[in-house]
Amino acid sequence: MAAYQRGCCGIILVKLDMTSIEIKTEIQKVLDQVPENVLQNVLDFLKELQTKSADDRKFANNLRNILSEDKELLEKLAQ
């Protein structure tokens, strides 16, 4: 059984105890609601992930987490 938790910025965090099929199903549900003009960006991002090393993916994920956690602060600094 999958467990969900709402994170910052409305992002739904999915617990890792989900099966591969459950994860793909949830991804498909989200993709079904993504505007068409964003779909190409999502596809490009996924293809880019395939070419990166595990260390590069970990670094990118950590950077994304930092930026999302500090979004408010970064927006204030940009003003």
- How far is it, in rounded angstroms, from Cα 4 to Cα 15? 6
> What is the 8-class DSSP label of residue 18?
S
Residues 27 and 56 in one domain: no
Q: How far are the Cα atoms of 24, 45, 57, 70 from residue 48, in angstroms, in the given order?
A: 18, 5, 10, 25
Residues 27 and 43 in one domain: no
Q: pLDDT class for 62, splitting at 50, 70, 90?
A: confident
The predicted structure's pLDDT at residue 7: 53
74, 67 Cβ separation under 8 angstroms? yes
Q: Say yes or no to pLDDT of 70 above 70.
A: yes
Q: Say yes or no to pLDDT of 67 above 70.
A: yes
pTM for the predicted model, two decimal places: 0.49
Residue-wise pLDDT for 30-40, tens only, equals 999 988 888 89
Residues 29 and 40 in one domain: no
Q: Tell me which residue range forms the domain holding 11.
A: 1-33
Domain count, the chain: 2
